[in-house]
Structure 1
Amino acid sequence: MIMKVKTWTVLLMSTYLTACAAPATEKYQTIMDSVTAGKVNQIIRSDVIPSSDKYHGEVISRVSSAFLGTPYQAETLIGGPSIPEALVVNFNGVDCISLIDYVEALTYSHDQKSFLQNLVKVRYTGGNVDYLSRRHFFSDWFASAPRNARDVTADISPDYAVVDKQLNRKPGGGEYIPGLGIHPRRINYIPGKAISQQMLDHLKIGDYVGVYSPLEGLDVSHVGIVVRHDGRVWFRNASSLAANRKVVDSPFLEYMRAKPGIVVLRVE
């Protein structure tokens, strides 16, 4: 799956989404259906609050487990160069980026209001709900303020590599995200050939992992979460593969071994 970093298609979601009026001080619309609202409350009550004294990675694992089986659905967000950005909350279908957005925002929340506030902080730089402020790239999580996570790739394996990227530059010229500009960024990644059982021992539960992309204008092509159960390390992800089309746990080593590499971020 290639991470969606293009102009988002506006979906006609009026059949199941309810527009929630944002506070008068806000300049954006919040869109969340009743089913999603109920799930937000349930996850906070059942998974977040009881885990308040746990290591953050354990909270991420527990919260993300609530999304297992959720259908894969791309392009659920609303916004574009000529389309006003809306704060979309849709647990009925997720892609890889919206999954980690929702999970990370939920882990810090104690009610629906705080979840919406946290989602703004996670999804947008500077808390600015705007298409060009959206964190379109995985590395925006550590490179853009306020920072969501720390890049720990170099700590995971001594065999990590470093590459200078020109993010948002399309191979044939132009931009993936029109109007965003080209962003020079140094990316650390662990090559696929260096991904081993020994390396897995350095991953922590709740680490966010991106599948490295060799394209100059992209940092990763897919993202997911490190979880551990049944004595193994798994990659929890919103899979677009025809055999899945939902949030699943994939055996980490087998999944990543043939990939170009990985980028690892950690929230502490």
Structure 2
Amino acid sequence: MIPLLNTLLFAVVYVGGSAELRDRMLQHTDLQQPGLRMVQLARQSLGRPYRAFSLDQAPEQLRIDLTGFDCFLFVEQLLALAVEDTRVGFEQRVRQLRYQGGSVDYCTRQHYFSRWSQQAQASGLLQDITPALPGAIRRQRRLNFMSTNQQSYAPLRQARHRECIEDLESNLVVQQSYIPLPRVAEVEPLLRDGDIFALVTRVSGLDVTHVGFVERSGPHVHAIHAAPGRGVMRSHQLSRYASGVDDVIGLSFHRPLQP
């Protein structure tokens, strides 16, 4: 059961045929373990288009789009779908994951994966398994990419949004564990279907640049993710794929839990 985040009503916008698609996806998902369910849901999503900045429409509403994704929304919505069978429960989970305290507003939206995953862990939906994996190292990271690249974010043209993001990022520092690229192949046997991977970056002001799901096929570990210009796809051999992405220094891994 999901605790009430607040007593305010909020608008839910299902894009295209996403409401019906949610129902169809669940009809073809029969496993109870959330990680396995997520892999089933991810496989059903293969081939759907990539859509960038799809949330950046005024006014801010709880938008649900299962017809196309960026990498972050792909992971977020499928995680919510994997743990909630009812429509209301699914909507509440998306809201709980997407917004700090469940308050639907651009300023409370989780714009960085590290903060998003921390909130998901606090809600009992994820476990950061990275620190327990062989070769894990830890870094302190200041997050201020949005403040220093405002031209890339249309909502920051509004003074209110610009001010709240600048205020948030004035002292936003996170602790981040990751597996360095040369050791990712070593930890692949320890990963499970549906684990969430994040590509940890050296880009200043950012924590990660891409996320997706782990898929096991016998001894092999692949990635299912929403890729710019290509849509939802499978990349064979996770470690090899990650090594080919610019500015990636390692990966972090997060295991879904049944709340």
- TM-score relative to the length of structure 2: 0.81
Q: 1:56 and 1:228 mapped to 2: Cα distance?
A: 15
Q: Which residue identity lines up with residue 21 of structure 2 in the other structure? A: K
Q: How many residues align?
A: 232
Match of 1:59 in 2: 37
Aligned-partner residue type, residue 265 of structure 1: H
Question: What corresponds to 1:125 in structure 2?
Answer: 100
Tell me the percent identity. Answer: 26
Cα distance, 1:170–1:86 mapped onto 2, change above 3 Å: closer
> Is the partner of 1:103 in helix, strand or coil?
helix
Displacement of 1:215 after TM fit? 2.6
- 1:89 aligns to 2:71 (yes or no): no
Aligned residue for 1:76, secondary structure, equals coil
Choose the corresponding residue for 2:54, options 76, 84, 87.
Answer: 76
**8 Å contact 1:139–1:219 — kept in the other structure?**
yes
Q: 1:173 to 1:63 in 2, by over 3 A?
A: closer
Aligned amino acid, residue 235 of structure 1 = A
| 1:142–1:148 contact (8 Å) kept in structure 2 | no
- Residue 192 (structure 1) aligned to one of 169, 181, 184: 181
CA distance in 2, matches of 1:125, 1:170: 17
Match of 1:217 in 2: 205
**Pairing 1:30–2:19 present:** no
Q: Which moved more, 1:255-264 or 1:91-100?
A: 255-264
- Matched residue, 1:12: none
RMSD of aligned residue pairs (Cα, Å): 2.3
Deviations along 1:101-133, one digit per CA (max 9) or x if unpaired, are 110110122232222122111222222212122
CA displacement, residues 139-193 of structure 1 (integer Å, 9 cap, x when unaligned): 1233235364222112222x22211111125695889873232211111111112
Q: Does 1:250 align with 2:239?
A: no
Q: Which amino acid aligns with 1:253?
A: S
* CA shift digits 1:70-95 (9 cap, x unpaired): 1111111135xxx4311111122111
Q: CA deviation at 1:239?
A: 0.8
Q: Which has the higher contact order (CA 8 A, sep 6+)?
A: 2
Kindly provide the amino acid, as one letter, of the partner of residue 223 in structure 2.
F
Are 1:236 and 2:224 counterparts? yes
Q: Name stretches of at least 5 consecutive residues in structure 1 with no aligned partner.
A: 1-24
2:137 corresponds in structure 1 to 161
- Separation of aligned partners in 2, 1:30 and 1:172: 31
Q: Secondary structure at the match of 1:66?
A: helix
